[in-house]
Amino acid sequence: MSTIDDRVQPAAVNIALGPQAGAGASQRAANPLLAFLRRVLLSDYFILYLTLVFFVGASAFFPTLSAPGNISNQFSNMWPLLAVAVGQTFVLIIGGIDLSQGSVMAITSVVGALIFTQVLDAPTFDKSPLWGTLINEQGGILASNPNAVLFGVLAMLGLGALIGLWNGFAITRFRMAPFMVTLVSMIFFSAFALWLTASRNVSGLPEDFTRLGTGDIISVYLGPKLTPEIPRREILPFISYPMVIAVGLAVAAHIILTRTVFGRQMFSIGTNRRTSQVSGVPSGRVVMLVYMFSGFCAAVAAILYSARLGIGLPSLGSNLLLDIIGATVIGGTSLFGGKGSVKGTFFGVAFFVLLLNILNAMRLSPFVIDAVKGVVILLAALLDITRSRLINRGVRA
Amino acid sequence: MNKIRIVGLLLALALLAGVVSVASAQSDITICFGFQDLETEFWVAGHKAITETLREMGITVLEYNANEDPNRQLEQVRECIAQGVDGIIIIPQDGDSAVTIIREAQAADIPIAVFNRPPNDRSRGITVVADNVSATEQAVEHIAQMALRQWEITQQPITPLIVVGALQDTNAIGRREGFFNVINRYNERYPGMFKDPIEVASEWDAATALANLEAAITANPDVDFLYTSSDFLFPTIRSVLEPRGKWVPRGTPGHVLMAGLDGDATACMLIEQGYVDATGVQNLFFEAELTMNRLLQAIEEGDTQPNDVLLDPGFALTSANFPWMAEEMWGCVLYFEGWLDQ
């Protein structure tokens, strides 16, 4: 696809930013500190550096932050958020936005749970429209099927992708604003999840499913063995199922974004949709597939959140939108499209989880925490603009 | 190479901070207290009773507000576990997530107590809960007696309405059960006294309750017997009944017989003024004391997985026993202290 403008890709831009990039280079060379700061600010790893600086600085004031148990815990908090943020990254790169991810999580969470739950309480669920036909005291739709979890998980992923596909279809075919389409989806599917369960949580999920959110593949113990039995709280997850699932998804997304024609087409559409269309990019199909992937990622996150909590939650994701978009933007994905990376989103999620950890350690009220999160996202957006200006100056020089 | 040097330097600093953290660890008892939004007087007073008492005892309290998000509460409890707290007290969002959170704490050998909103499986953890069925029955019994006197004179059937809570919460289930026990009992003894009760969902949310109650009262303007599963909804109920001329004190034509549950300051004031006739009282201070004492006992004995259900029998404050029982209700204590004037 020689028609796609490669300059939109971060890697290509960085080539123009080397010390040899023109007149500014001699000034920067005269001030090594300024040059160093500039290099750090423009680096793909800027958020990683910032995260580490925050971690070290905050650990001095709140020592528990650096305890191995806390670090392990923060990583486990990262995985579901990473899964859903990867989908949002794709959508933002093409210049869209997906507000429906939270409601996709809610509806897929309850649909999956209603398929494989082992028991349902009559007084709690008899107001559900499915009661007596698809669900009853003996459990969900496929409660007695040995492959219920497999079918349930596939249904969750399929439903998530389908809702995403609908969003993409409405945006491309009806030329509706992504904001409006996904806002309507958000409202509709949130309400649908509440209606389907009569606003009740679905419990009684089988262990085969809950293991996806809590199971460890490799656990570690750090420290001397002073007693015959190691206290359970000292045994930390090292490699867990949520980690494998989320990282696997992120790696696949990274490969799609950086190594395929489809990835290049996404950047092209995000930079200038009209130009990309003229250049032969099938923008409608790409947009639909991207929203479909976003819905799929939200369903993966729903699996991880529901499994670790052990319930299908009709309100799942209702408070997560700020975290999802926040982590993605902090990771360097532009709200204007055409820029972003899965690697950056990974760092953004790490930063966001650490930020929450620090704010909790400061014992701030949740309202203050939300306000601080908002300010940080604003700063991230401003930083993105500043970096873009610096990059443009470098390119012009 | 620069990148590697920077990351290496930062990791070394992190290690140093970790060493500092070990050196500065505290040795006294630390309790993690995780709660939801303190939206009602009951939770505000409960939060205050627990945190102030523990701090007066020299115990460090780490407070976490999950903002009605069970996933966030799970993360917060994990954070508490990672910090090595000695015990955990939670007010969960619902009975289902409470089960998972208790399992998480017990798997880490940390004793955990659940205050007032019990888990669906009460076999694990310390559960302190009011006997919702009993407290509701006592309050509804009082207004049913008043309704009976009215029915015996007029022979007009009474139209009862219940504002139910979120039914994934066992408190809400118990209160609904207590209400129906009384209605069914009276209908057996006095056939035709009560019509079929109208159920209004609140989901423990004032806005939801307002919308549903408006619809229910519009469709059934003859409602003359009302029970709310929580006292915090009385202002909402007032905003629906007042424009229809149904918010009037006892002894005035059109008075709706009303009872609630919690025993908060607003209910105390409304019983005193005659708008409300009874409320089932959860003995908040008693429950807070039970929770703390049992958890501290477990910590002292090294019992990492205490499993216990401690019941608060509760009582009813009614228009009849108000003069001598009001001082026993936590909400009246707050009301007499000027809580509602703040």
**Who contacts A31 (Cβ-Cβ below 8 Å, separation ≥6)?**
none
Instruction: Please tell me which of the candidates A70, A72, A309 has its beta carbon nearest to residue B70.
Output: A309
| pLDDT tens figures, A163-192 | 999 999 999 999 999 999 999 999 999 999
Domain A18-25+44-395 CATH class label: mainly alpha
Q: Say how far residue B121 (Cα) sits from the centre of its chain.
A: 18
pLDDT classification of B1: cutoffs 50, 70, 90: very low
Is residue A224 within 8 angstroms of chain B, CB to CB?
A: no
* Residue of B5 and A330 predicted with greater confidence: A330
Query: A233 and B83: CB-CB below 8 Å?
Result: no
* Residue of B170 and A20 predicted with greater confidence: B170
| pLDDT tens figures, B193-248 | 999 999 999 988 898 899 999 999 999 999 999 999 999 999 999 999 999 999 99
Say what the pLDDT of residue B8 is.
54
R_g over Cα of chain B: 24
Is residue B205 within 8 angstroms of chain A, CB to CB?
A: no
Q: In what order do the strands lie in the sheet with B112-115?
A: B60-65, B30-35, B87-90, B112-115, B126-130, B308-312
How far apart, in whole angstroms, are the C-alpha atoms of residue A297 and residue A386?
30
Is residue B180 within 8 angstroms of chain A, CB to CB?
A: no
How far apart, in whole angstroms, are the C-alpha atoms of residue B195 and residue A18?
82
The answer to whether the CB of A318 falls within 8 A of the CB of A102 is: yes
- Name which of A65-69, B90-94, B306-310 the model is least confident about: A65-69
How far apart, in whole angstroms, are the C-alpha atoms of residue A333 and residue A344?
7
Q: What is the mean pLDDT of chain B?
A: 88
How close is the nearest chain B Cα to the Cα of A293, in Å? 24
Residues 234 through 293 of chain A touching chain B, CB cutoff 8 Å: none
pLDDT at A82 over 60: yes
Q: Please compute the mean of the pLDDT values over residues A3-8 and round it to a whole number.
A: 40
| pLDDT tens figures, A90-146 | 999 999 999 999 999 999 999 999 999 988 877 778 778 888 888 888 888 888 889
Q: Please compute the mean of the pLDDT values over residues A50-71 and round it to a whole number.
A: 89
DSSP class of B197:
P
The answer to whether the CB of A219 falls within 8 A of the CB of A235 is: yes
How far apart, in whole angstroms, are the C-alpha atoms of residue A82 and residue A344?
11
Say what the pLDDT of residue A24 is.
53
pLDDT at B151 over 90: yes
* Residue of B269 and B330 predicted with greater confidence: B269
Q: Residue A172 corresponds to which tokens in the numbers above?
A: 């491309």
3-state secondary structure of A347: helix
| Chain A residue numbers touching B78 (CB-CB < 8 A) | 73, 76-77
| pLDDT tens figures, B274-331 | 999 999 998 888 888 899 999 999 999 999 999 999 988 889 999 999 999 998 888 9
Q: Residue A260 corresponds to which tokens in the numbers above?
A: 């395929």
Half-sphere exposure of A150 (CA within 13 A, CB side): 4
Say what the pLDDT of residue A238 is.
80
Q: Give the residue ranges of DSSP H helices in chain A.
A: 10-15, 23-30, 32-42, 46-61, 68-93, 101-116, 122-125, 148-173, 178-196, 207-214, 241-259, 261-271, 273-278, 283-309, 321-330, 342-361, 366-396
Q: Please compute the mean of the pLDDT values over residues A278-293 and round it to a whole number.
A: 95
Helix B70-82 vs helix A342-361: angle between axes, to the nearest 10 degrees?
70
- The two most distant CA atoms of chain B are separated, in Å, by 94
The answer to whether the CB of B30 falls within 8 A of the CB of B63 is: no
Residue of chain A minimizing CA distance to B101: A309
pLDDT classification of A380: cutoffs 50, 70, 90: confident
3-state secondary structure of A285: helix
Q: Say how far residue A160 (Cα) sits from the centre of its chain.
A: 14
Residues 51 through 70 of chain A touching chain B, CB cutoff 8 Å: 52-53, 55-56, 59-60, 63-67, 69-70
- Name which of A29-43, A241-255, A290-304, A351-365 the model is least confident about: A29-43
Q: In what order do the strands lie in the sheet with B160-164?
A: B198-201, B160-164, B225-228, B257-262, B278-281, B315-318
Q: What is the mean pLDDT of chain A?
A: 86
Q: Please compute the mean of the pLDDT values over residues B113-118 and round it to a whole number.
A: 89
Is residue A19 within 8 angstroms of chain B, CB to CB?
A: no
Q: Please compute the mean of the pLDDT values over residues B84-111 and round it to a whole number.
A: 92
Q: Give the residue ranges of DSSP H helices in B274-329.
A: 284-301, 322-325
Q: Please compute the mean of the pLDDT values over residues A317-337 and round it to a whole number.
A: 90
